[in-house]
């Protein structure tokens, strides 16, 4: 009984410690906090690289969210805050960077790679279809004929619709 109570107490302590790291909303205004969360969903965490700024728990992401919140509180609009972040961190901070000469490869590259891979596969399949199979050497051809003859002898009645050979 004591071991069970100790286990439950340990589990509760671990759960309390795990939830203690969650920070409450930093902005006293719920509308501002919702705006910050929605805005940072379209921004890439510079540390995690595969998470949005809103979802990341990295210290740099927290600092960037605080900076975005501060800029909104200072009265800047979405375009101004986005421009500030791009000027400081480059287009990489955006999940959907604009199409310009510096980012053209990001937009066109996947399509070019896919088209190249499909073209290469098609070329390989066509080349393989045009290449005839080389004939078997005489000893192997003779062995194959003998195997086929043995199989047809064994399956004689079943080929005629009779019973199967054991």
* pLDDT(159) > 80: no
Question: What's residue 91's pLDDT?
Answer: 84
Structure-block tokens of residue 158: 């079943």
Predicted pLDDT of residue 20 = 43
Indicate the SS3 state at residue 52.
strand
The confidence score (pLDDT) of residue 21 equals 46
Burial class (CB in 10 A: 0-12, 13-18, 19+), 114: exposed
Q: Tens of pLDDT along 44-62?
A: 888 887 888 899 899 999 9
Residue 134 confidence (pLDDT): 83
Residue 149 sits at the vertex; the CA angle it makes with 147 and 153, to the nearest 5 degrees, is 120
β-partners of residue 52 are 44
pLDDT tens track for 99-118: 888 778 878 889 999 999 99
Find out whether 25 and 35 touch, Cβ atoms under 8 Å.
Answer: no
Q: Which two tokens stand for residue 7?
A: 């286990």
pLDDT in tens, 5-21: 555 555 555 655 544 44
Tell me what pLDDT residue 65 has: 93
Condensed to tens digits (0 to 9), the pLDDT of residues 114-156 reads 999 999 999 999 888 888 888 889 999 899 999 999 888 876 6
């Amino acid at each position: 009984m004591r071991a069970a109570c100790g286990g439950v107490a340990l589990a509760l302590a671990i759960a309390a410690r795990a939830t203690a790291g969650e920070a409450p909303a930093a902005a006293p205004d719920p509308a501002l906090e919702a705006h910050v969360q929605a805005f940072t969903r379209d921004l890439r965490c510079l540390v995690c690289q595969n998470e949005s700024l809103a979802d990341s728990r990295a210290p740099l992401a927290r600092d960037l969210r605080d900076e975005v919140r501060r800029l909104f509180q200072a009265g800047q609009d979405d375009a101004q805050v986005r421009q500030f972040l791009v000027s400081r961190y480059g287009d990489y901070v955006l999940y959907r960077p604009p199409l310009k000469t510096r980012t053209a490869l990001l937009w066109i590259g996947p399509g070019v790679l896919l088209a190249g891979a499909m073209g290469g596969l098609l070329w390989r399949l066509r080349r393989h279809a045009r290449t005839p199979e080389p004939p078997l050497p005489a000893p192997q051809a003779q062995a194959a004929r003998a195997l086929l003859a043995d199989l047809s002898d064994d399956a004689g009645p079943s080929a005629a619709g009779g019973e199967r050979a054991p």
